[in-house]
Amino acid sequence: MTDAPAPLADPHLVYDPVAGDGPKDVVILGSTGSIGTQAIDLVLRNPDRFRVTALSANGGRVALLAEQAHRLRVRTVAVAREDVVPELREALSARYGAGEPLPEVLAGPDAATQLAASDCHTVLNGITGSIGLAPTLAALEAGRTLALANKESLIVGGPLVKALAKPGQIIPVDSEHAALFQALAAGTRADVRKLVVTASGGPFRGRTRQELAAVTVEDALAHPTWAMGPVITINSATLVNKGLEVIEAHLLYDIPFDRIEVVVHPQSYVHSMVEFTDGSTLAQATPPDMRGPIAIGLGWPERVPDAAPVFDWSKASTWEFFPLDNEAFPSVNLARHVGELAGTAPAVFNAANEECVEAFRTGALPYLGIIDTVTRVVEEHGTPAAGTSLTVPDVLEAENWARARARELTARTASAEARA
């Protein structure tokens, strides 16, 4: 293990681009989403530690974005959708009093990327989907600490991210990777035997593949322990999300895939574990709440007091662990496969899945059709050429092909079902 490359995320290394006293200046990308809103709650409760200088969002919740900008007194607000700029300016004007300077407004598909390179200490990338890759690369290139909640940018652009990131520059915000990050602080890399990533099992834990054939969108959105956006919630129902997290763990910590295990833990109390060579296993546990991982991402190496709820140890509770049913949920093994293929294979896997999830949400694809279609797209993509150097155009080309192919296969499935 001593000859392995240095990990992207290492709790023993602290990257501090702007040393000094006072609150850390933070840019929040995806501010109106689940991660963004919880991050803002944390910031507002800790004004002595954090100061938000800029916000970005897609543009679907303009009133909320204007409210956030006013409460935080940010310098800049960005939206991906240029068509909502008049509505945003009107909402900002309604929030700000007479004589109060309005924040600068940026708009367009590159607006979040501009903010990621702006003057700040930390960029929290809470964008959902592979569109988060460009902001991730921009933050790293600009020398910002990156609190990374956008797992897709690491999945699809792993080599690009690794080429830019300096030691300690990335702090993971996913609950599982924040847990591994904290547990790894207890030993050296040579002490690590394996990583154990926990999964709640989602709403369909215990069901066979046959029993999953008729599940609905409403069933898939009924996650038993976490409140998340619809795409991530459906990914949790298929366990694609867990497969992405396995690839992410491999990239963040440079642990081989055969030493990254997934176990089902329905209570979602233990967020992940590290097994060390002496037989010890360290588990990081809190009640299911994302404010703890967000606080690690923004505050490390310091901890933020009262960031998240705690257990009442005076009350009895049961913590269960089960093996993963790979027949009912083949997505984790498929993710291992594309992770080992590397190159553009993870981008193809992620893009095809995004298309299939959307098709499922609109009724164009059954639940089991999601992973079946993704598997076929991955198989048709084949093995990336060995030794090739990945570029952003390579990723975009692979994603575009995967999306188009997934749509073609989905249309065929819908047509066949209509004829049946």
Q: Is 87 annotated as a binding residue?
A: no
In a domain, 84, yes or no: no
Q: Is 31 annotated as a binding residue?
A: no
Does residue 267 contact residue 225 with C-beta atoms inside 8 Å?
yes
The two tokens of residue 142 are 């600009």
Q: State the Cα–Cα distance between residues 226 and 240, nearest whole angstrom.
A: 16
Q: Is 174 annotated as a binding residue?
A: yes
Q: Is 325 annotated as a binding residue?
A: no
The two tokens of residue 49 are 């530690």
Q: Is 380 annotated as a binding residue?
A: no
pLDDT score of 388 = 62
Q: Is 125 annotated as a binding residue?
A: no
In a domain, 244, yes or no: yes
Q: Which helix (H) or strand (E) holds 282?
A: strand 281-285
Domain that holds residue 239: 204-284+320-419
Distances (CA, A) of 216 to 203, 229, 327, 360: 11, 17, 20, 9
In a domain, 405, yes or no: yes
Q: Is 235 annotated as a binding residue?
A: no
Count of domains in the chain? 1
Q: Is 32 annotated as a binding residue?
A: yes
The two tokens of residue 220 are 């898939």
In a domain, 386, yes or no: yes
Does residue 357 contact residue 231 with C-beta atoms inside 8 Å?
yes
Q: Is 248 annotated as a binding residue?
A: no
The two tokens of residue 344 are 């553009």
Q: Is 337 annotated as a binding residue?
A: no
Query: CATH number of the domain that 328 lies in?
Result: 1.10.1740.10
In a domain, 199, yes or no: no
Q: Is 202 annotated as a binding residue?
A: no
Name, in order, each residue with C-beta under 8 angstroms of 44's C-beta and a sequence gap of 6 or more: 71, 72
The two tokens of residue 369 are 């059709």
In a domain, 239, yes or no: yes
Q: Is 168 annotated as a binding residue?
A: no
Q: Is 281 annotated as a binding residue?
A: no
Q: Is 218 annotated as a binding residue?
A: no
Q: Is 268 annotated as a binding residue?
A: no
Per-residue confidence of the chain (420 residues) as pLDDT tens digits? 334 567 899 999 999 887 667 899 999 999 999 999 999 999 999 999 999 999 999 999 999 999 999 999 999 999 999 999 999 999 999 999 888 899 999 999 999 999 999 999 999 999 988 899 999 999 999 999 999 999 989 999 999 999 999 999 999 999 999 999 999 999 998 999 999 999 998 889 999 999 999 999 998 988 777 767 788 889 989 999 999 999 999 999 999 999 999 999 999 999 999 999 999 999 999 999 999 999 999 999 999 999 999 999 999 999 999 999 999 999 999 999 999 999 999 999 999 999 999 999 999 999 999 999 999 999 999 877 655 678 899 999 999 999 999 999 999 876 666 555
Residue 14 burial (CB count, 10 A): 14
Q: Is 241 annotated as a binding residue?
A: yes
In a domain, 231, yes or no: yes
Does residue 123 contact residue 39 with C-beta atoms inside 8 Å?
no
pLDDT score of 63 = 97
In a domain, 351, yes or no: yes
pLDDT score of 227 = 67
Per the listing, tokens 């392995």 go with 4
Q: Is 362 annotated as a binding residue?
A: no
